[in-house]
Amino acid sequence: MNKIVLITGATSGIGLACARKFAANGDKLILTGRNEVRLSEIQEELTAQGAEVITLTFDVRDREKATSCLNTLPQDWQNIDVLVNNAGLALGLEPEYEGSFDDWETMIDTNIKGLLTMTRLVVPGMVARESGHIINIGSVAGDAAYAGGNVYCATKAAVKALSDGLRIDVANTPIRVTNLKPGLVETNFSNTRFHGDTNRASNVYKGIKPLTGDDIADVAVYASNAPAHVQIAEVLILATHQANGSVIVRK
Ligand code: NDP
Ligand code: 8X3
């Protein structure tokens, strides 16, 4: 309780749901994202409910800006207890041999390198304080590739490898590392994937009751609240009629 929680990509979907759930849990929030106006609106919403919130506007791909923003944190906000590496995206669903170089670069730079940047910037303080928790938002997509998922799936497989690697690297400390692997969650994810084609995006969730951002945020808060000797290492969270990244039964 009353931890300092930094969430990347807090302006939408799972990140926003985490902001609301951690705030309701009594935690202090550092909300980061690219959309300054949206961040201010969310800050206003949560402070009206009694939460303490700081916002930082940066793109996780911009290492220098991320570094300088973190350096602006007041002294008593620098001891980040929980890092939620959530910012991420999928772009396209083309076969690997037809994919867009630009889309690949954006996914790799955001989902892998952005996550690594945040980890590199925040975790040394946790190690020095011998306290902390990193919650990475991986995906069922990281367990096995699905048709057209190729590069996105590879980035989420990387999130699993980086979570597992970090867990080994901090095993001699009280720091915990959690990889949350959601399946179908209805957010802005598919709109982004299909470059704003809302019809195509809504078809992704047709005939199945998808997960919500809140469903994932509940697990993140649970992992954070678990007793210090309990490390929720990995959780796969699927919609009930989804069996894996490829098998989705629509009715
Ligand atoms: P949304 O599109 O709703 O939210 C994505 C968030 O990430 C937005 O706040 C977005 O900001 C932010 N973001 C994207 N790129 C950057 C960047 N370069 N720098 C900073 N912020 C960035 O999707 P979700 O909430 O669904 O996605 C959140 C995470 O969950 C992602 O890592 C995704 O891969 C993962 N995930 C999603 C699933 C799903 O089915 N929805 C399932 C499994 C995992 P902006 O608005 O500025 O783009
Ligand atoms: C998002 C879930 O199955 O669309 O990671 O890849 S999926």
Q: pLDDT digits over 99-132, tens only?
A: 999 999 999 999 999 999 999 999 999 999 999 9
Residue 137 beta carbon below 6 angstroms from any ligand 1 atom: yes
Do the Cβ atoms of 178 and 235 come closer than 8 Å? yes
The per-residue pLDDT for range 44-56, each reduced to its tens digit, is 999 999 999 999 9
29 Cβ closer than 6 Å to some ligand 1 atom = no
pLDDT of residue 145: 98
Cα–Cα dist 60/244, whole Å: 29
- The pLDDT of residue 139 is 98
Which of the following is catalytic: 97, 146, 152, 222? 152
Selected residue with higher pLDDT from 246 and 1: 246
Does the pLDDT of residue 1 top 90, yes or no? no
- 200 alpha carbon to ligand 2 midpoint, in Å? 15
- Residue 248 tokens read as 């989705």
Predicted pLDDT at 164: 99
Among residues of the chain, what percentage have pLDDT more than 70?
Answer: 100
Of all ligands present, the nearest one to the C-alpha of 38 is: 1
Q: What is the maximum alpha-carbon separation in the chain?
A: 53
- Which residue CA neighbors atom 31 of ligand 1 most closely? 88
pLDDT (mean) for 70-97 = 98
Span 139-158, average pLDDT: 98
Report residues whose beta carbon is within 6 angstroms of any ligand 2 atom. 139-141, 149, 183-184, 245
Q: Is residue 245 part of a domain?
A: no
Within-domain flag for 177: yes
* Residue 250, domain member (yes or no): no
Distance from residue 140's CA to the centre of ligand 2 (Å): 6
Cα(18)–Cα(213) distance, integer angstroms = 8
Best mutation site among 187, 202, 219, 238 for ligand 1, i.e. most ligand atoms within 8 A of its Cβ?
Answer: 187
Residue 152 falls in the annotated catalytic set: yes
Average pLDDT over the chain, rounded to an integer: 98
Report residue 243's pLDDT band, with 50, 70 and 90 as the boundaries.
very high
What is the phi/psi pair of residue 176, to 5°? -110, 150
Question: What are the strands of the beta sheet with 28-33, ordered from one edge?
Answer: 53-57, 28-33, 4-7, 82-85, 133-137, 176-182, 234-237
Instruction: Please work out, in degrees rounded to the nearest 5, the angle formed at the alpha carbon of residue 18 by the alpha carbons of 21 and 55.
Output: 105
The count of structural domains within the chain is: 1
Sequence letter at residue 131 = S
Please, which residues bridge with residue 83 across strands? 6, 134
Q: Which two tokens stand for residue 133?
A: 């928790």
- Report yes or no on 247 lying in a domain: no
Residue 248 inside a domain? The answer is: no
Domain CATH for 80: 3.40.50.720
Taking only the tens place, the pLDDT of each residue in 171-185 is 999 999 999 999 999
Structure tokens given for 219: 């697990």
Say if 61 falls within a structural domain. Answer: yes
- Give domain status of residue 53, yes or no: yes
Domain extent, residue 176, equals: 4-237
Q: Which of 14, 85, 140, 248 to mutate to test the pocket of ligand 2 (most atoms within 8 A of CB)?
A: 140
The answer, yes or no, to whether any atom of ligand 1 lies below 6 A from the CB of 61, is yes
Residue 56 lies in a domain: yes
